[in-house]
Amino acid sequence: MQQVTLGRSELRSSRLVYGCMRIAGDGGSADRDRGKRAIHAALEAGYTQFDHADIYGDGACESLFGEVLQENPGLRDELLITSKCGIRKAGQPEADDPKRYDFSYQYLVDSVEGSLERLGVDTLDLLLLHRPDYLFNAAEVATALETLHENGRVRHFGVSNFRTSQVKLLQSQCPWPLLVNQVEINLHNIDALDNGVLDQCQRRKITPQAWSPLGGVAFEAWSNTFTPEDEARIRTELEHQAEVYGAEPWLLALAWLLKHPAGIQPIIGSTTPARIAAAAGALNIPYRREDWYRLLEARTGRAAP
C-alpha cells in the first residue's frame, strides 16, 4: 500500500485509512466477529491508519479494536490509531440534555482517557476534534491539547468537519501544526472543492481525509439530494470509466478523490474483507484529468463553466 506523510509531521500512514465506525455492527457476537475479520482484512491489505471516534457504537468500536490489539501482541506499534471526541449525545449525563458539541478543557481531557481505556493503549497517535463546537474557545482548546500532549496521551492533533476559518483560529493558538482535516468528500458532497477546505489543506500542508468516500455511489449519501436522473447519469459515467480502466465502478469514485493534488486520504468504511482489499486497487488507476472532469460533469449535470 502506498505510504504518505501526514501534514507537517514525520508520521507515515497508508494512503487509504481504514474507518472503524461500522466494525461493531449491532453489537451482537456475529457482527463483532465480522468486525474483527474486517480489521484483519485491512491489516493484510496494508492499511496502517485506523480511524475511530469515542461515539462509534457508543464506544463499542474502540473496545472491539482494543480486543484485537490484545489478541495480537506487538500489533499496536505497527499502527497509527486515530480517534475523535467533542460530540456529546442527547440524554447524557442528564436525561433532558440535548445533543451538543463540547470542546471544554475537562471534557476533551476526560474523553481521551475514555478512548485510551477502551482501546487498551497508552497513547493516541492522532486526536481529531470531531465537529466544531460553536462555543469553542481556541485558547482553552489549545490548553487541553497541550495537557494531553505533555501527559503523553496524544502525539498529534487534527480536526474534522472544520471550516477554513475555524482551522485558522485553532491553529493560531496551537504550538504544533494541525495535521488533518477530516471532512465528507464524495461524488454527492463536493463542497470541499469550492469552500476552500482543500485549498487550505494544500497551502498549509494539512492532510485532507474523506469520510464516506462512497456516499452517493455505494449507498445513499447523507442528506441525499440526488434525483433518479442524477444517479443514472453518474452510474452511466462510472460504468463507462470502469470499462476504460478495467476496474469496478466504485473504484473510479475513489480514484476521483485520489486525483486531487491536496492528497486526499479516503477512509474506507466497508466491513467486507474483499472490498477492503479491493479498495487499494484504486491507487493503481492512472486516472486522467479528462475523466475527472467527465465525472464532475456527470455529478453536476452541466459542463464546467
> Which of 66, 158, 216, 269 forms a contact with ligand NAP (CB under 6 A)?
269
Q: Under a CB-based contact definition with an 8 Å cutoff, are residues 185 and 208 in contact? A: yes
> Which of 1, 4, 5, 22 forms a contact with ligand NAP (CB under 6 A)?
22
> How many Å apart are CA 153 and CA 147, to the nearest integer?
9
Q: Binding string to ligand NAP for residues 127 to 166, with x set by CB under 6 A, is what?
A: ---------------------------------xx-----
By beta carbon distance, the residue nearest ligand NAP is 269
> Which of 83, 115, 182, 207 forms a contact with ligand NAP (CB under 6 A)?
182
Quick one: CA torsion of 111, 13, 218, 129, rounded to 10 degrees? 30
213 binds ligand NAP (CB under 6 A): yes
CB neighbours of 210 closer than 8 A, spacing ≥ 6? 182, 183, 184, 185, 186, 257, 264, 265, 266, 267
Cβ nearer to ligand NAP, comparing 151 with 236: 236
> Which of 21, 109, 138, 174 forms a contact with ligand NAP (CB under 6 A)?
21
> Which of 6, 11, 16, 20 forms a contact with ligand NAP (CB under 6 A)?
20
Annotation marks residue 56 as catalytic: yes
> Which of 79, 166, 271, 285 forms a contact with ligand NAP (CB under 6 A)?
271
CB of 162 to ligand NAP, least distance (A): 10
* Sign of the dihedral defined by the CA atoms of residues 66, 67, 73, 74, in that order: negative
> How many Å apart are CA 158 and CA 171, to the nearest integer?
10
Cβ nearer to ligand NAP, comparing 146 with 240: 240
- Going along 6-123, which residue ranges are E strands? 12-14, 17-19, 49-51, 80-85, 87-88, 100-101
CB of 202 to ligand NAP, least distance (A): 20
Q: Binding string to ligand NAP for residues 231 to 250, with x set by CB under 6 A, is what?
A: -------------------x
User: What pairs with residue 287 in β-bridges?
Assistant: none
Q: Under a CB-based contact definition with an 8 Å cutoff, are residues 27 and 60 in contact? A: yes
Phi then psi dihedrals of residue 225, to 5 deg: -120, 0
CB of 293 to ligand NAP, least distance (A): 22
Binding to ligand NAP, residues 25-84 (CB under 6 A): 51
212 binds ligand NAP (CB under 6 A): yes
End-to-end CA distance of the chain: 37
- Length of the chain as a residue count: 305
Among 56, 105, 107, 287, the active-site one is: 56
Number of residues that bind ligand NAP (CB under 6 A): 23
> How many Å apart are CA 160 and CA 211, to the nearest integer?
10
Please list the active-site residues.
56
Q: Which residues lie near ligand NAP (CB under 6 A)?
A: 19-22, 51, 160-161, 182, 211-215, 218-219, 250, 267-272, 275
